[in-house]
Amino acid sequence: MFRALLYGCVKYSCLLWLRLYNRLSIEAVDEVPRRGAFIVAANHCSNLDPVVIGAACPRRLRFMAKEELFRIPLLGPLIRALGAVPVPRSDRQGAAAVLRLTLARLEASESVILFPEGTRSRDGRLKGLEGGVALLAVKTGLPVIPAFISGSYEALPGGAPFPRPVKIRLRFGSPLRAAELLPEGSEKERRQALLRRLERELLSLQSSMAGGADDHP
């Protein structure tokens, strides 16, 4: 009960802050399922990204975050209250821990945020996607909701001590299911098909948002 109350307070406080300070706009939120677990797969170019999605999504989400983020003043307590789970940073151990912890959350009927680029983009552009999100989607049969965030890199690039009042936009895409993309394929083929389609959807969302936002106050 206390955790749910804390989550609600933090979520709506963050949403109010983002609406007022960063003029956050949330688009196509109806694409988010009203019931059942799912995976949100989003681009990642700022430490603000999980806060933006966690605050904007109408459903409660969990996400994995590197341990050092929990030591950052203000950000650490915020992401913990929004449902973050710390994972080790070492490459192989960290990747395995993310998959293991995320699978456990999905099997417990919780929805999660994943950033399939694997790490934060250093220049704000979408990088190649790693296969973990597709593996989890095929294994669980759950839908993947593409999401693209525009403006968070300008608002809080790497090394910036505090967010800037730059407009942020979040747009959700239509749910993707591996079994529907390739009904007769093997598990490996379904993973590959889902990953290719997810990358196309993220690039399409990015393209549809380009030039449509006033990026500066």
Integer Cα distance of 108 and 49 in angstroms: 24
Please tell me the predicted confidence (pLDDT) of residue 48.
93
What is 2-209's CATH number?
3.40.1130.10
Rounded to two decimals, the pTM is 0.88
Integer Cα distance of 163 and 165 in angstroms: 7
Give the ranges where 22-167 is alpha helix by DSSP (H): 49-56, 75-81, 91-107, 132-140, 152-155
Strand positions, DSSP E, 83-189 = 84-87, 111-114, 144-150, 169-172
Please tell me the predicted confidence (pLDDT) of residue 217.
43
pLDDT digit string, tens, across residues 59-84: 999 887 778 888 888 888 888 887 78
Please tell me the predicted confidence (pLDDT) of residue 212.
52
What are the contacts of 81-86 at 24+ separation with CB within 8 A? 81/6, 81/7, 81/10, 82/7, 82/10, 82/11, 82/14, 82/50, 82/51, 82/54, 82/55, 83/7, 83/54, 84/50
31: which DSSP letter? G
Integer Cα distance of 195 and 3 in angstroms: 34
The pairing of strands 144-150 and 169-172 is antiparallel
84: its two tokens: 């973050």
Please tell me the predicted confidence (pLDDT) of residue 213.
45
φ and ψ at residue 201, rounded to 5 degrees:
-65, -40
H or E stretch at 208: helix 187-209
Please tell me the predicted confidence (pLDDT) of residue 215.
45
Please tell me the predicted confidence (pLDDT) of residue 214.
47
Tell me which residues of the chain have a pLDDT lower than 70: 1, 89-94, 211-217
31: its two tokens: 């694409």
In degrees, rounded to 5, the angle at the alpha carbon of residue 175 between the alpha carbons of residues 174 and 181 is 110
Determine the residue type at 161: P
